[in-house]
Amino acid sequence: MVASVAVGSLVWVEDHDEAWLDGEVISVNGDDIKVLCTSGKTVVVKSSNVYPKDAEAPPCGVDDMTKLAYLHEPGVLQNLKSRYDINEIYTYTGNILIAVNPFQRLPHLYDSHMMAQYKGAAFGELSPHPFAVADAAYRLMINEGISQAILVSGESGAGKTESTKLLMRYLAYMGGRLASEGRSVEQKVLESNPVLEAFGNAKTVRNNNSSRFGKFVELQFDERGRISGAAIRTYLLERSRVCQLSDPERNYHCFYMLCAAPPEDIKHLKLGNPRTFHYLNQTNCYELDGIDDAKEYTATRKAMDTVGISSEEQDSIFRVIAAILHLGNIEFTKGKEYDSSMPKDEKSWFHLRTAAELFMCDEKALEDSLCRRVIVTRDETITKELDPEAAVSSRDALAKVVYSRLFDWLVDKINNSIGQDPNSKYLIGVLDIYGFESFKTNSFEQFCINLTNEKLQQHFNQHVFKMEQEEYTREEINWSYIEFIDNQDVLDLIEKKPGGIIALLDEACMFPRSTHDTFAQKLYQTFKNHKRFSKPKLARSDFTICHYAGDVTYQTELFLEKNKDYVIAEHQALLSASKCSFASSLFPVSNEETSKQSKFSSIGSRFKQQLQALLETLSATEPHYIRCVKPNNLLKPHIFENQNVLQQLRCGGVLEAIRISCAGYPTKRPFYEFVDRFGVLAPEALDGSTDEVAVCKKLLEKVGLEGYQIGKTKVFLRAGQMAVLDTKRTEILGKSASIIQRKIRSYMARKSFILFRRSTILIQSVCRGELARHDYETKRREASCLRIQRDLRMYIARKVYKEKRASALSVQTGMRGMAARNELRFRRQTKAAILIQSHCRKFLAHSKYVKLKKATITTQSAWRGRVARKELRSLKMAARETGALQAAKNKLEKQVEELTWRLQLEKRMRTDLEEAKTQENTKLRTAVQELQLQLKEAKDTLVKEREAAKTAAETIPVIQEVPVVDHELTEKLNAENAELKDLVSSLKTKIIETEKKYEETYKLSEERLKQAMEAESMIVKLKTTMHSLEERIADMESENKIQWQSLLTNKGVPPQSPDLASKVEFLYFSRIFSLSYILSNSLYSCVQVLENGNHANESITLNDLLLTPEKGFETPDNKPRRPPIDRQHEDVDALMECVVKDVGFSQGKPVAAFTIYKCLLHWKSFEAERTSVFDRLVQMIGSAIEDQDSNDHMAYWLSNTSTLLFLLQKSMKPAGTAGTASVRKPQPTSLFGRMTMGFRSSPSTVNFGAASAALETVKQVEAKYPALLFNQQLIAYVEKMYGIIRDNLKKELGSLLALCIQAPRTSKGSVLRSGRSFGKESHTNHWQGIIDCLNTLLTTLKENFVPPVLVQKIFTQTFQYVNVQLFNSLLLRRECCTFSNGEYVKSGLAELELWCCQAKDEYAGSAWDELKHIRQAVGFLVIHQKYRISYDEIINDLCPVLSVQQLYRICTLYWDDNYNTRSVSSEVISSMRVLMTEDSNNAVSNSFLLDDNSSIPFSIDELSNSIEVKDFLDVKPAIDLLENPYFHFLHE
């Protein structure tokens, strides 16, 4: 309320729709004030109904509302709204945390990084957060040894459950055991939430996951601060929800989860769609958006496993839940007797049987317990039938009591599983309790909930008043006259005994004839004069209680029924006798229940006792408060409803706490802030004074205020006094502004005069300069004319002189030339004479030499002819043997051709025979058909003749019988008939003979075809054998060449030794002849097999053909030679033993990789189908890189592996591709061709030096599968070693980056907890530490010659990691988002840029570009006058890389701790908010944090392109292997 209002003052006025509107006073007329609101509306209000507005309040609000200049209702509301608009959902009011539900996920606020930030931080040092409250409670418990309690309250949907989860997560984080000790207790506490939510939470009108019970979690700690035990206490589960629902609410979550269980569970429990169950289909809401009940079912069972509920118990729990659903589907109709009942139809009987089966009880007993009551009197037992309505009530009562007992069992089971520590020293309790509720219809549950909130509000008021008292005492001011507002009268109205509402309700429940009407009349009569109790108009049984949060009207219709808590005796007996041990354990038999009667128990009284025990626990602890607020009823983000929030602040007691504060001294300002703000009221008090207390007193005395208090560190002002001071300050500032304007105008006028005067002087100087330049030009022209004349005269004189000099030189030249020609002529004549003499002498000497040479050649030719004839004889003998082999081959080929020709001939004969047979059969069939036709015609003719004769005989009268017989015709016919019969029989005989002949021919052709197939298979086998023998001969040739080379290079043996040549010749030709002999014998045997027609298994086998002739072969020295496989194994062992050591580098390339490549190439390992060399290499590399902590060691092997991979990539080509790296002369493919080449190359003509010439540096070969697999394994090792080096560097930089995020503080806050404060130099050392790490790694990579492309990628990803860490910290911590911190980080980034320049692009690459996010963010922080920058300039020029969410976060968190400059304008903030709302559906766009990329950023092609083949021309192999005689090929 404003004491004095002046025109131009900013005030708050009350509004019916928006609660409060801010505006400016435009006129004052007595008590009437005319205000122009910012919304454009103009209102006239009384001065007593307006509140002052702080014009200097930050636009983004303050994190602690006790810092507000005006602590009143509109100020609190505006501060919460301002912070909610920038997604700052937490705000302090002293030590009370207000949490506004954002209705969206903000995962960055709750990760382990945030918990680490708040660990050990002083309360209020960081942004408001539940972690800060939990940390303060934990620190107080450890430091002062006092148990703590955290009370979380708010209405349904405000986020109480989520806040409770966060608190327990942080307390488990702080007090959890080590990994080796296990984290069972805290894990079970956290995992108990899903279990309790599944069975105790439901969807209501205001919340999709509303807790329908109160929960108090006690976390017990030992003396070391570790969690040693826990306990969960629950209050007032809403049992009526099991049977009664209102649209659009849902029943408890567990029912819907069970209906979405796996099919086998559904079938076992006989469940179905939730719409088919009465307890679930009373509403139209069956599913929740974004919730999968099937997944929730699985998660709930997993949580049950964690808290120690066995699978058998879980099955029993869900059996009971299913039985409750089946109970609800049992409908009743009238029975045969009066007022009796029975199940309505077959469907009801089915659900009755199913419920009995699930409860594992008798079906008849279940029916009797629902439809009948047993009344036990002193004399007899009476069975009473229940009508259908009473039976439904009995059914619902059973369902409610079973569910209530099940929930209590779950809580007890969780407590037993978690385990309580009886020896615990401290505890921290977290209370998740329902908030104040006021609906259109308020029943017994709302009555108990509001009673709880009244009790807690009293506790809260006492705490707030206690805090005020402690502060006043601490500041040593007088506070004895401050009044405390209490709500004890409301508590007495409800729970006073006797005479309270609960006592009257218990009394009414004990009388059977009592109804809600009689109970209501009793209330009206008892409390008719109570100021907190009233009877609504037009209501017969309702009553209204005036709570601290407002009036609530209760309907008493169900008060009596819901207050009764007893188990019907029949239900108790039924379930106690259940065969299901779990169901029977829910209803244990009590010794007191021998009378079979239902014993009454009051829920209200029991709840009151629980509440009293809870308050006693809270009173023994140090309380902390979290008030949860729901900003809107739509449950959507970015909507802030002022009226709704104000109502919740009232219900949560926040406004009550403000009212208590306002009753004393609501405005508290430290001396330095007070002097800084109001020093302008008395400047003379500041002159020469260093005592802030004295200055404050002088200021207040000059203003004339009364009632204020001066404490030890603060000034305490009464309500309204801050507004008086601000009004006077505004007046003084207005006058000062006028003086400043006057001075500024004077300054501007003088500045304009000076500018005009300066311009005049400039014009004059320009004119004088122009005149001087004109005079200078005239003088310059005169001087030029004189110079031209002088130069012309000089030119003419010089020309005459040159002409005379040229004439003299011509005469002298002619004379000297004539003398020189004479001398030349004489010299030529002398030289010719000498030449003639020399030719004559040469001719005489040459003639003598020719004669001598001719005689010598004649002698040599005779001798050489003799030697040649001798050699010719030996060659002819070898040729004869070769001719024999050639003849055998030719004979074999001819036989193969003959067999092929025979096979084709047989096929043709068979085809011709079949065609002839077909033609002959066709002719025979045609002939038979013709004969049959002739026979048929003859028979027809005979029949016709007989009929004609018969007819003639009948028509002509018989005079005399004269036999007339044509014997010739008869005989002729008989003869023809006999011929036809003979012809038919002969045809049949021919057909039979033809068929026999065809069968014989078919069998013969089959046999010959079979022989031809066998011959063809034999030919294939022979060809295979020939190829294998050719390969063996090629291997022998190469091996002989190697041996020849080794023998030639032995020390002490001359290369032209005839003994050595003869040995090599003998070795070479003996092995060739042995193979040739075996091959010729094999071929001859195969030919004999084919000629004799025997099978292959009767002659030599293929295995005999493939046997090598080396088994029994000995060298000329009579020493057995080692097999090649053993030799190769020894060579591989020698290679491994050499390269596993650090053999260094040659010409900037790794020696080990080059040596391995040369060996693999020489051994032809790339072309081998099977080899173990690659496996040995992979094992060697894997064992070598086990030490992952040494970057030097890893860099050495990364260099070797990447180089070897490059060589393999350049050498290998897939099998079957055309073209090779080096063109080689085509080799003969046949065995005889290769043998002939061997015979033709005699030792005297073979150039062994050419055979041992060096191979090209990189040669392409056809890669087989082992080589391709080795290539892939090398790629995997290169990527692995790259990742290890990169991650090691990130690990080193991580700790340094945490120290480089925030600039050093110069205030008291810069002092660390250890008592040490670091100056600018120490913080600069952190950046230098980063530079040292980068330099160390760069030096290591250079020394090991790692390919530059890999070095670039390592530093690029490292700088990306630096960018992510710095940028995310900037967005998460408000203290980092300041002007001074921006300058500090910018200076560190400048050092990184300098490092990139020094490292050059070859190694740094694009690393500097990866810091673009932090560079642009820091650049934005250090810009002055941000409020003048438009949104387009920000996104296009200043920060084009940053997203809207990131810019919004930076703009809202920014504050200038040096120059107090403003952030961007409100228009820019509004534009960003609109864009964020449009992108709200995009999950990616909502995330403003950056992710670190740990992928492999390079391809093998990039690595291959970065290395040149020519770089390996001068690389030397390993020195150790060069001394080994079996590695002499490395010299090539």
Structure tokens at 321: 């839940």
Place of tokens 């002849």: 1073
Active site residue 156: yes
- Alpha carbon distance, N-terminus to C-terminus of the chain: 101
Q: Which residues contact 1500 (CB under 8 A, 6 or more apart)?
A: 1205, 1209, 1275
* 622-629/1145-1146 β-pairing: unpaired
Reduced 3-state DSSP string for 359-371: HCCCHHHHHHHHH
The catalytic position among 82, 208, 211, 1369 is: 211
Question: In terms of C-beta density within 10 A (0-12 exposed, 13-18 middle, 19 or more buried), how is residue 621 classed?
Answer: buried
Strands (E), 1247-1400: 1261-1263
The catalytic position among 9, 87, 93, 161 is: 161
Amino acid found at 808: A
Active site residue 437: yes
Active site residue 1465: no
Active site residue 417: no
Please spell the DSSP secondary structure of 1352-1388, one letter per residue: HHHHHHHHHHHHHHHHHHHHH-GGGSBHHHHHHHHHH
* Contact present, 585 and 573 (Cβ < 8 Å): no
Strands (E), 892-962: none
Active site residue 210: yes
Alpha-carbon Rg for the chain in angstroms: 57
The catalytic position among 200, 335, 435, 604 is: 435
The catalytic position among 23, 61, 154, 157 is: 157
CA atoms of 662 and 1056, how far apart (whole Å)? 119
* 1149-1150/1212-1214 β-pairing: unpaired
The catalytic position among 79, 101, 156, 576 is: 156
Which residues lie across from 375 on neighbouring strands? 382
Angle between helices 311-328 and 346-359 (to 10 degrees): 160
* 533-534/426-432 β-pairing: unpaired
Structure tokens at 191: 């995992």
Place of tokens 């008291």: 1308
How large is the greatest C-alpha to C-alpha distance in the chain, in angstroms?
193
Q: Please name the helix (run of DSSP H) or strand (run of DSSP E) that holds residue 169, with its range, or none.
A: helix 160-175
Length of the chain: 1532
CA atoms of 1037 and 755, how far apart (whole Å)? 103
% helix, strand, coil for the chain, step of 5:
65, 10, 30
The catalytic position among 207, 316, 576, 1344 is: 207
CA atoms of 1153 and 1108, how far apart (whole Å)? 36
Place of tokens 């001074």: 1380
The catalytic position among 93, 201, 210, 1191 is: 210
CA atoms of 1118 and 1116, how far apart (whole Å)? 5
Q: Taking the mean position of all CA atoms in its chain, how far away is CA 10?
A: 52
The catalytic position among 155, 238, 437, 1292 is: 437
Amino acid found at 514: S
Active site residue 161: yes
Structure tokens at 920: 């002959």
Residue of 1056, 917, 1281 whose CA lies nearest to 1064: 1056
Within 10 Å of residue 1231's Cβ, how many Cβ atoms?
23
* Contact present, 229 and 424 (Cβ < 8 Å): yes
Residue of 834, 728, 643 whose CA lies nearest to 9: 728
CA atoms of 1361 and 1357, how far apart (whole Å)? 6
CA atoms of 643 and 630, how far apart (whole Å)? 11
Reduced 3-state DSSP string for 793-831: HHHHHHHHHHHHHHHHHHHHHHHHHHHHHHHHHHHHHHH
Active site residue 644: no
φ, ψ dihedrals at 26, nearest 5°: -105, -15
Active site residue 679: no
What sign does the dihedral 618-624-625-626 (CA atoms) show?
Answer: negative
CA atoms of 721 and 4, how far apart (whole Å)? 10
Q: Which residues are the active-site residues? A: 156-157, 161, 207, 210-211, 435, 437
